[in-house]
Amino acid sequence: MFGGNAGHTHHVTSLGSTFTRRRPRWKIDNISPGAAPAVDADGTAYFTTAEGRLYSVALDGLINWNIELGGPSRCTPALAANGAIFVTTASLGLSAWSRQGKRLWSFAAGSNSHPVIAGDGTIYVIDDRVSAISPAGALLWSYPLATASGLGGEAVALGEAGVIYAVRDGLHAINRDGTSLWRAPQGDSQSPPPVVTDGVVYAGFGTQIVALDGRTGAMRPNWPQELTKRLQAGPAVDGAGLLHFINGTSLAPNAPGGNVVYEERAPIGVTMPTPAIDGADVVYAARDVGLEGPVVVRDPYRTHGGMDDLDFYSGGRAVGVAIGKDGTVFVATAAGEDGDKGSVFAIAP
């Protein structure tokens, strides 16, 4: 699902990629994805497009199917253990599909959000409220938030004991029965989705990022941290607890004093997706390079043996990075400044 897991750490227990072959496994052009693909255990990638289609692409690049969703979609699909695929569209809201591409049901909620699946199968989406939907498509409860007007893709994050975290008019912690646990003032409608790991909730707010106790909402020691510019996407969290940010900053949680471990600035004005981190804690980022589109960068923070540019230009603007179980790296790009549509491509490990 979005962020690789329900906490959105973008950290997956996959093999690392050496990129010794440095070639695309496959590439699909002339589409407009709005987010990273979701990747199944066998390497099948599922992604949606602004043209209103859902794709299923095998690891070898064979398109299993692509189907009409009934409206534009810019979400990362969520893949359930029972085989269901959950996506959102502007027209239908949340819908469920089989692995064969057959629509199972739809529910009018969360039209601009990334679906998130809990361990018990409950699906969560967000718009002007957080909605909890059963695996059969029934509303379990809804929790009201501020207006959703003008919002882009969003997602709740799930923490310990099934607590749901949502950012809108502050940071909300919601019990699994839909009642409020606590609310903190940090976070607004332009903030990226929260990230949850080891009982700590991270949320971006303007040029700050905060770390709160997931149970009480209390600020953690040595936080908040000031950033040089507004957080454009949520952080990725590696196995050592380092936070890797969209502007290239890596922060060590709860470390005293200056927390910047290494910093590599992105070009001014460029928007890039959250990095992805593999099971060896190697970081993969898509860095935009002019009109040629993004180049995938392995380990941009030089914490594991040095930066490794792939020099693989895809065209368009990077909107998502994901990693498969075998180390294949998937990148989605939106339309470029020249008017060309985007693409989704897979780089062999």
Cis peptide, bond prior to residue 224, ω within 30 of zero: yes
User: Are the C-beta atoms of residues 317 and 332 closer than 8 Å to each other?
Assistant: no
Structure tokens at 157: 């994050």
Residue 138 CB burial class (10 angstroms; 0-12, 13-18, ≥19)? exposed
User: Are the C-beta atoms of residues 33 and 333 closer than 8 Å to each other?
Assistant: yes
Other CB atoms within a 10 A radius of the CB of residue 161 amount to 11
Instruction: For domain 2-347, give the CATH superfamily.
Output: YVTN repeat-like/Quinoprotein amine dehydrogenase (2.130.10.10)
Q: How far is CA 306 from CA 10, 16, 326, in A?
A: 21, 15, 22
Residues in CB range of 316: below 8 A, 6 or more apart: 293, 294, 333, 334, 335, 336, 340, 341, 342, 343
Structure tokens at 111: 């039209």
> Judging by DSSP bridges, how do beta strands 24-31 and 103-107 pair with one another?
unpaired
Model pLDDT, residue 258: 42
Q: Which amino acid is at 144?
A: P
Q: How many residues does the chain have?
A: 349
Distance CA 63, CA 297 (A): 27
Model pLDDT, residue 327: 87
Model pLDDT, residue 248: 63
Other CB atoms within a 10 A radius of the CB of residue 68 amount to 11
Tokens 């008017």 correspond to 339
Model pLDDT, residue 288: 61
pTM across the whole model: 0.91
| Domain residue extents for the chain | 2-347
Structure tokens at 3: 């962020």
Q: What residues of the chain score a pLDDT lower than 70?
A: 17-23, 147-153, 246-249, 252-271, 287-316, 336-340
